[in-house]
Amino acid sequence: MHEEDDYQPVESMDLSGGDISLDFVNTASRRDSGSLREKLHAYDDLVTWAERVGVITEAQGRRLRTAGHRSPEEADQVLRRARDLREAVFRIFARPGTEGGDLDLLADEAARAAAERRLAATADGYAYTWPESDRLEQPLWPVALAAAELLTSAEERSRVKECAADNCNWLFLDMSRNRSRRWCDMKVCGNRAKARRFSARHREA
């Protein structure tokens, strides 16, 4: 996102996307600068992010980290899949018309996730749930389905925006009444833009 956030680890990064698939996209920034700022440096970071947004529990996270340490090559493969999925989702929403094979990639990941999801009875009725599993790809399942659901909702898809700040590239759902939101976080990217405009006016004066 912004300079301060570039150094925030995944456990403390802002979650301003409004959808878990967009929060996942926001684990990287500055795509247009030619020097991607990456937050998913290792498989453990992917697990930590999944814990942070609530798609897995801390107990599941501990099991996945243990499984990842036992199978480091497989963990690296899942990490690469996660990054590929993330960038595909970014391009689909932020660069329409340039998706290439991105839609196929998302469709494949969403199909894998859908095959794992189970319908179960709950205290309040019925809900989709995920199996108790040590499979390393588990954090990708809810992300892929969330992205697919967002993409297939014309109303919500039309509300996906890219932050107006230079080299941010974070995405968010603009749920404002008049769809006027411009920044992923007004307190940071928005305020920085205001400060730049103020400084420019001061120099001109």
Cα distances from 33 to residues 30, 36, 86, 111, in angstroms, run: 5, 7, 17, 33
For the stretch 129-139, what's the b/e string if a residue is b when 16 or more beta carbons lie within 10 angstroms of its beta carbon? ebeeeeebbbb
- The per-residue pLDDT for 55 is 94
pLDDT mean across residues, the chain: 88
- The per-residue pLDDT for 131 is 87
Give the chain's domains with CATH numbers. Answer: 3-204 (1.10.3300.10)
**Where residue 188 falls among pLDDT bands split at 50, 70, 90?**
low
Residue 109 near residue 86, CB atoms below 8 Å: no
Number of neighbouring beta carbons within 10 Å of residue 183: 23
Q: What is the pTM of this model?
A: 0.88
> Angle of helix 72-94 relative to helix 58-70, nearest 10 degrees?
120
**% of the chain exceeding 90 in pLDDT:** 66
pLDDT at residue 78 tops 90: yes
Instruction: Identify which of 102, 83, 90, 95 has the alpha carbon closest to the alpha carbon of residue 39.
Output: 83
Q: What is the C-alpha end-to-end distance of the chain, expressed in Å?
A: 31
Cα distances from 150 to residues 89, 154, 167, 172, in angstroms, run: 10, 8, 24, 12
- The per-residue pLDDT for 8 is 75
Distance of CA 36 to the CA centre of its chain: 15
Mean pLDDT on 95-108: 89
